Amino acid sequence: MPAQIVLVNDDNEFAGQASAALQGVGYSVAPFTDPVAAWDAIRGLSSARLLITKILFAPGKPNGLALAHARQSHKAALRVLFTDLPNTEAHVGELGIFLPLPVSTPDILRSVRSIIPLDES
């Protein structure tokens, strides 16, 4: 099944847990720890419906806001779910939905189900 969700987070533990939980309930996930690799993949994954990303990455890497803007020019229907520290929420605006860290796996599942119900996946 082609990926429905592109997950970009340089925290390997978070990315692994979130990917496993989403796959465990039936979603197809393309996980990335490098936002540059994700940037290229977003353009090539025609089935992707949701980008889950943090806002801030390591210096020299595109941030999650840049990924969200890139999706607008390549895949306007791709929705965005940001997970990051509460003080970054103001940057999100209307680009997507924001979940402040720490965020639990059930919170992520609940948010994803509200965007892509499993019966539509």
What kind and span of H or E run contains 30? strand 29-32
**pLDDT given for residue 94 in this prediction:** 87
Residue 83 confidence (pLDDT):
95
CA distance 55 to 62: 9
Q: Could you report the average pLDDT of every consecutive run of 10 residues in the chain (121 residues)?
A: 83 94 95 90 79 93 88 72 94 92 94 87 50
Among 108, 18, 2, 10, residue whose Cα is nearest residue 55: 10
Radius of gyration of the chain (CA): 13
Q: Which two tokens stand for residue 25?
A: 């309930």
**Tokens found for residue 101:** 């860290």
Residue-level pLDDT at 27: 95
The number of beta carbons lying within 10 Å of the beta carbon of residue 44 is: 11
**pTM for this one?**
0.90
Amino acid identity, residue 57? F
Tell me the domain boundaries of the chain: 5-120
* CATH code of domain 5-120: 3.40.50.2300
